Amino acid sequence: MQQKPSSFPTRVIIVVLLGFAAVRLGWVDAVMQWFNPVPTSMQVVEKPAEQPIKRVKAQRLVERPAPAAPVYKKAKPKEPEVEDSCQLNWHDKEAVADAKERLSLLDDNLEFEKSQFRLSNYATVNLITPKLSDDYHQTLKTRLSTAYTQYRRFFQVSAPMPYKINLVVLPPRYYRDYISQFGSSSSTNIGVYFGASNTAFVKYNSRYPEQSLTTAVHEAMHVFNYRLIGRMPKWLNEGLAEVFENTLYFDSEKVINVPSRYFKERLFMLSVLIDSEESWQGADTLRMYRNSALWVGFLMQSSRGKQVLKALLQHEATNVCIKLSAEQVIHTLIDYYPRYEEAFNNWSKTHVNTKAEFVPIL
């Protein structure tokens, strides 16, 4: 019997190929895991890690403001410092403008003369008067200039900045009309200074021209007091104006004088004047003016008194806005002139019966 050829090699080759395919396709691992399952505790399931879910309240976005872009402005010239109402440049602009407008109307029915002259490099006077003699104008200019020079020399003060004085001399009818327009209701005064508009008015009486000259110097002195020193007590302010108004009086050989008739008034102690700062309107007003003149004149003509006045004005000049208190004035008097009351009484007795019209001071 003829044997068929063996198919063993062919079968072996088939088995090998099948095994190779099973390995490649992962069938062997699947069969092995089926026969040998891995315990559950040892199973590792890998998955991408996830962040735990949190319910977070939505936050408001806080934006940091972007820095503003720099703004470049055109440089401006430096403005002058604005001073307070009580300081040197204290005039109200509207009041000054109004005064100029009102004064420009003075030419309507009466011929007026307008001029300007300088007392120094810092002080200028704008003068408006009726048409008067050249002698009147020259006398007024000379007295104002001399009073200003003597004042500065005596107290050793100077103006910190330039300033002007508007000085208006008016006949009675014009005078009453204009001071009422500027706010004064008095019909008895002969001179008044309005600080807000920097304008002084003087009544001119053709029968007594000398009166308007002294009044003009008096009102100008109030400007000097404020511009060179600052605010000061009433007795000192008016006393200085009363004394210096008699500068270069026609009938006196001295520069600064006090009328001798003042000594015949009822004399006040200086403490009375110092304590009466708010009581200058009444029956004793005229006496208070004259007593102030006597006390300032007394202090000016003695060495100790000069020290007192200079100390007071130096204290005042340190702050133009604040007046010295009564206590400060009294303390200064006692420090420099302890027996000032006694000395004043002796001085006034010496001149009470003088026959001269004036008592020389400086």
The CATH number of residue 127's host domain is 3.40.30.160
69 lies in some domain: no
* pLDDT above 90 coverage of the chain, percent: 44
Task: Please tell me whether residues 314 and 341 are part of one structural domain.
Answer: yes
77 lies in some domain: no
**Arithmetic mean of pLDDT, 301-308:** 94
Q: Residue 75 has what pLDDT?
A: 32
Residue 83 or residue 143, greater confidence: 143
Task: Please tell me whether residues 269 and 353 are part of one structural domain.
Answer: yes
Task: Please tell me whether residues 174 and 260 are part of one structural domain.
Answer: no
Q: Which residues of 173-198 are buried (b: 16+ CB within 10 A; e: fewer)?
A: ebbbebbeebeeeeeeebbbbbebbb
185 lies in some domain: yes
For residue 318, give its domain range.
Answer: 231-362
6 lies in some domain: no
Q: Which range scores top for mean pLDDT: 179-183, 246-250, 298-302?
A: 298-302
* pLDDT above 70 coverage of the chain, percent: 72
Q: Is residue 330 classed exposed, middle or buried when 0-12, 13-18 and 19+ CB atoms within 10 A define those classes?
A: middle
Q: Residue 9 has what pLDDT?
A: 59
Total length of the chain: 362
Single-letter amino acid code for the residue at 15: V
Q: Residue 194 has what pLDDT?
A: 87
The H-assigned helical ranges of 128-233 are: 134-155, 172-181, 209-224
pLDDT value at 346 more than 90? yes
The H-assigned helical ranges of 70-195 are: 93-103, 134-155, 172-181
Q: Residue 13 has what pLDDT?
A: 60
In degrees and rounded to multiples of 5, residue 128 shows phi and psi of -125, 125
| Strand-pair partners of 360 | 257
Q: Residue 97 has what pLDDT?
A: 86
Instruction: Give CA–CA dist 316/293, Å, rounded.
Output: 19
Contacts of 341 (CB under 8 A, 6+ apart): 269, 270
Indicate the average pLDDT of the chain: 78
Instruction: Give CA–CA dist 257/250, Å, rounded.
Output: 11
Residue 127 or residue 8, greater confidence: 127
The DSSP secondary-structure symbol of 120 reads: S
The residue among 211, 229, 247 that closes a domain is 229
Nearest to 213 by CA among 144, 262, 260, 120: 144
The residue among 212, 229, 246 that closes a domain is 229
pTM here is 0.74
pLDDT value at 360 more than 50? yes
